[in-house]
Structure 1
């Protein structure tokens, strides 16, 4: 008996349904289009973005979680908020649910009540509670429900990027000396660069660019702000094969916008004078102009003009007055247009191969062929009368019968005077 192949042993199941490939990186133009579709109010939502990421960082420190968990939670927080406005979900609830999801992904398991209790104790220092308190029961159920919604939003894509690990290796390569002066410079440089990698997650840069672009931008910007090892940072940037120059400058300018506009809400921005920050920003903009680069990588002016503003930004309700309360166990859902199963695939080539293979079982094939059919010839001969015995009677009375149709009045035939005759002189 011949051995069975793999294709014969694998059973053919139901149709695969709708396959979705989650986008790991979102360009600035697509990001703005998504924000316009949810009615993004820049002034209000930027404030909520900073507060949400800061809340994640504070709870992380209170629970002594690693930075990997913070990085993952901040990424989930951004991806959720670019799809749903704050008028639907409270930004604090989303931040805590993102941290709860990230704890499971990064294997730093914490219960939802532990996270809610830590957030409550940070918010109310004089009213410390334990995770076993009954006040967290309803909030815990809501957090678990929101966690499922976050998983659907990120497309079950658990691939993460951790710039801190690569950043430390690059700094060690930039400062190889073991003398006392090199150690002091390396320590100061590492402290500023590491804190800058935390401030970076208060922007949308981590969901727009790869880890290499983030690390190179942090190194170059730290060197410019400290005015140390600038040539080394530029040399590393020129040798980097996986990050283009436009991406690096875009991340640097995103950070500079954060430091100049929200200086007190960051760790590194408050360490430098505002004039120094403005000078560095002008210098970076000059390099972008000299290199004939766009402010945003892969920006299309024609696409921006052609894309209509479907849902312009309108002010929404405050998260505090939002319809989803902290104790609610129901979560608003966005239904997909079709009812088929939604599957998330990470390899586009594998998804295409699977679709082509499944189509072979569900495509309808038709074959055209000609068939000769004999049709009966119609009989066009005059038909005989149904009652031939009455034909003489019909011929005799043919001239005396008149059919005037369905006129509303009689036309005054023989023996029937016209009753309207003589009315012409009525008036």
Structure 2
């Protein structure tokens, strides 16, 4: 006789058997979906919300990225760590007003987080020590110095805000690697006569790939768009043969759009014409050359009917007069630059939601979860009309107070007159018809 199968229930898993399913309930917390790129219009709206002062903030943006680059070179970190730190720095500054923190602290904290993200581990004291030695070379210190203890706590505190700002989305584009491949395609190694020209072209293009992180282009465009714009601008500045750029003229074949390439080109040219001393390329070429290239690109965009910014909506555009702070503060003010005292403070924005914030990267899963949660939190009402007959009350008959009711107290002898307020102020009580002094009949 064959053995009977075991009919015993399955072992319990987490307190429930296999036949029983745990109750389905709403997941706790608030789900947030982070996007890797933003448009120029959305960036301006974010800057408007924090009271962006254009003249002041541009200077702080350039100084912060320059500090990240110099410290990165001092610590001999790869360029991809610089790319990641610069993007973290831009995203943090678009969320918090600059008067709530010191830009130096945020720049070093962004580099600290980028070292962890790119697996180029550096301690916070090492980063602070390198920045101190660059700023004060006559006062050389070591990372073990106790003077860096307060600043270390500041950097670690800012790390949390940076992670929350980027939404734990560590995706960052690295255009330098793609740039080298495209330059090799333009100047093949087999042709020895073009090697020197290719090296000169790469020197300018590679430095331009560093300067582009001093703009908001890396958080607006993809790696292919950045590289195509760098190649186009470098060829225009160096007067490179147009035949070498023919393979990169069609932006669609390189996963990009021509309008996005033009926008990135003008972002770079605005940087070189307005802040040439804060860049690596701005001082290598004359201002007239840069302006001629800018005019040429603007004319080309006008002929091909491209806008300055891709996907710009005039009806949704913010008022340009509101993008500046109403009360701009001085950069050297101790109240607005906590780095002078070695401290910083970032105010956490109050939110109306409660619970743990969770960051979701799959949009479809987030929509399914939202549909599931709405079943428990959305109140649905149904309207019903019910006809109800109400009996009409008969009006009560009026009674004559002269016949039915006794006279009101205080109205004796004055039937039909309203009640009179008696007062003992003038002595007698029954003095209604008595004349006052000076007011006789």
Which residue, 305, 315, 318 being the options, matches 2:331?
Answer: 318
Which residue, 255, 275, 291 being the options, matches 2:268?
Answer: 255
Alpha-carbon distance, 1:215 to partner: 1.0
SS in 1 for 2:37: coil
Which residue, 400, 403, 419 being the options, matches 1:406?
Answer: 419
1:18 aligns with 2:62: no
1:139 aligns with 2:154: no
Q: Structure 2 matches for 1:274-423, cutoff 5 A?
A: 274-304=287-317, 309=322, 312-318=325-331, 321-322=334-335, 324-325=338-339, 327-328=342-343, 331-364=346-379, 404-408=417-421, 419-420=433-434
1:269 aligns with 2:282: yes
Contact 1:209 1:247 in 2 (8 A): yes
> In structure 2, how many angstroms separate the alpha carbons of the residues matched to 1:146 and 1:225?
40
1:179 aligns with 2:194: no
Which moved further from structure 2: 327-336 or 154-163?
Answer: 327-336
Alpha-carbon distance, 1:40 to partner: 2.1
> In structure 2, how many angstroms separate the alpha carbons of the residues matched to 1:396 and 1:6?
85
Q: Which residue of 2 aligns with 1:167?
A: 179
Q: Which residue of 2 aligns with 1:32?
A: 44
CA spacing shift, 1:8–1:374, aligned 2, 3 Å: farther
Structure 1 residue runs of 5 or longer lacking an equivalent are: 384-393, 410-415
Q: Deviations over 1:348-377 (max 9, x none)?
A: 2221111012223444566788999999x8
> In structure 2, how many angstroms separate the alpha carbons of the residues matched to 1:421 and 1:358?
83
SS in 2 for 1:270: coil
Q: Deviations over 1:363-393 (max 9, x none)?
A: 4566788999999x8997999xxxxxxxxxx
CA spacing shift, 1:289–1:396, aligned 2, 3 Å: closer
> In structure 1, how many angstroms separate the alpha carbons of the residues matched to 2:190 and 2:256?
30
Alpha-carbon distance, 1:234 to partner: 4.7
Q: Which residue of 1 aligns with 2:3?
A: none
- TM-score, normalisation: structure 1: 0.84
Which moved further from structure 2: 131-140 or 222-231?
Answer: 222-231
> What is the Cα-based RMSD across aligned positions, in Å?
3.7
Structure 2 residue runs of 5 or longer lacking an equivalent are: 1-6, 11-15, 398-402, 423-429
SS in 1 for 2:31: strand
Alpha-carbon distance, 1:32 to partner: 1.8
> In structure 2, how many angstroms separate the alpha carbons of the residues matched to 1:170 and 1:331?
42
Q: Which residue of 1 aligns with 2:73?
A: 61
Q: Which residue of 2 aligns with 1:86?
A: 98
Alpha-carbon distance, 1:312 to partner: 4.1
Which residue, 22, 47, 54 being the options, matches 2:59?
Answer: 47
CA spacing shift, 1:313–1:249, aligned 2, 3 Å: farther
Alpha-carbon distance, 1:165 to partner: 1.4
- TM-score, normalisation: structure 2: 0.81
Which moved further from structure 2: 258-267 or 286-295?
Answer: 258-267
SS in 2 for 1:301: coil
